[in-house]
Amino acid sequence: MWQLHKLNNRDKHRTLVTVGSALGWHSLPIKISQELINTLEDAHTQRLVSDWDEVMGLHKPSEIIDVNVRPALRKCPLEEGDELTLAWDDPAIDQNSELKFRFEIAFSEPDIVQSQPVLGTLKEMTNTVDLIILTFKPLFGS
């Protein structure tokens, strides 16, 4: 609610709330993806992952085709020359890798909401407002 309040109270005569492109997800090199899938398969087979069904449903590790990760530190807006993924020390890791990237439109309002996806953030704000309205609804009678 604080973010929504701050975004609404920005100077109405300046430009619109700033947004930019941020890296949403990127795939891992094939070698790392395969090692991760193999590790998950072993853990699944030995029943070491207690919440597997909650997270993956009926899917088994062998059905995983590609592993995508969301960077912990996301820059927004992106600028020319920005590094989008990890630099691998072992050149064999990158061999035959075709990394895939997914970009998101993200808020770029320092000290309010930075590098967060616009769509997800607005959905979260909407859900919060809905919850507040539903909480107070019984107090208004019919």
At which residue do the structure tokens 């979260």 appear? 124
Kindly indicate the confidence band of residue 18, based on its pLDDT and cuts at 50, 70 and 90: low
> Residue 12 sits in which domain range?
1-25+94-142
21 and 33 together in one domain: no
98 and 118 together in one domain: yes
For position 127, what pLDDT does the model report?
Answer: 94
21-75 confidence digits (pLDDT tens): 777 888 877 777 888 888 888 888 888 877 777 777 777 777 777 778 877 777 7
Q: Which residue has the higher pLDDT, 52 or 108?
A: 108
137 and 102 together in one domain: yes
Residue 17, pLDDT above cutoff 80: no
16 and 59 together in one domain: no
Cβ-count burial 97-126 (b if 16+ within 10 Å, e if not): eeeeeeebebbbbeebbebbbbeebeeeee
Q: What is the mean pLDDT of residues 104-123?
A: 86
